[in-house]
Amino acid sequence: MILTYYTITSMLILAYLLGSIPSAVWIGKKYYGIDIREYGSKNAGATNMLRVLGRRAALPVFGLDMLKGFVAVTIIDLMKYDSVFAGGANENWFYALRFGAVFAAVLGHIFPVFADFRGGKGVATLVGAIMGVNAPLVLLCFGVWFLVLMTTHYVSLSSMTAGCCFPIFTLISPKVNHVWPFVAFSFVIAALLIYTHRKNIERLRAGTESKIYIWRPRRVHPPRSEQTARTGDTQQPTPPADEQR
């Protein structure tokens, strides 16, 4: 049993470390010569990558952030092969462990140990993690997210709306509405998304939140080295026009 607890702790730590992989920061520095946390919303996530660098930079970040969440939850399934743990565990305990991995991965994305604990909001990582738990509910939430985005062009509002719909979809789903860890988890997720978007809420109320147009071409931010060469000094590069608004 001690070995089982050690295994659980190790897997949760691994989930946090997976979530801590700062794909937006690393891709921004390696391929564009900038720290994405210095531009736009200062957020190390796919949305800010789209806003500052365009779709070509945002898509791999979104995919990688989803993947690390999915893998973090999937590794918990390995516990089924632990005869000591599996012999005394039921469905609710396995769900609870998966959700522990979800929180660990999202916490890693928000406070990444590999990037000075300055990360993103954890939405893509959360989506990938829940995909590993119940994919149909994620697809329903994605439908809400896409509809709100196409209507308002606010990614933050879309994410919060989809997050608030998650517990509603959970309660009406006969497959999981009887699994108390899942129901509790869905409400916590909705609250977490509201909390991580609190600054966006302030900007939405003030009318200063930036809009995202998925199909509109974005001007790619030039690398820092190129701008320094043009200006002949070491000043930071001028942010894109949409950031100056």
Residues 17, 108 contacting (CB under 8 angstroms) = yes
pLDDT of 75 strictly over 60: yes
Determine the Cα–Cα distance for residues 224 and 238; give it in Å rounded to an integer. 9
pLDDT band for position 87 (50/70/90)? low
- 216 vs 2, residue with greater confidence: 216
pLDDT of 229 reads 43
Question: Phi-psi bin for 221: left (phi > 0), alpha (psi -120 to 50), beta?
Answer: beta
Extract the tokens encoding 87: 């012999």
**Per-residue tokens: 136:** 């149909």
Between the alpha carbon of residue 49 and those of residues 75, 127, 157, 162, the distances in Å are: 28, 18, 17, 21
Give me the pLDDT at residue 97, please: 85
Print the SS3 string covering the chain.
CHHHHHHHHHHHHHHHHHHCCCHHHHHHHHHHCCCHHHCCCCCCCHHHHHHHCCHHHHHHHHHHHHHHHHHHHHHHHHHHHCHHHHHHCCHHHHHHHHHHHHHHHHHHHHCCHHHCCCCCCCHHHHHHHHHCCCHHHHHHHHHHHHHHHHHHCCHHHHHHHHHHHHHHHHHHCCCCCCCHHHHHHHHHHHHHHHHHCHHHHHHHHHCCCCCCCCCCCCCCCCCHHHHHHHHCCCCCCCCCHHHHC
Rounded CA separation 200/196 (Å):
9
- 88-130: pLDDT as tens digits: 556 777 788 888 899 999 999 999 999 999 999 889 999 999 8
Residue 243: predicted pLDDT? 46
pLDDT of residue 177: 84
Nearest-angstrom CA–CA distance, 49 and 70: 21
The least confident of 25-29, 50-54, 175-179 is: 175-179
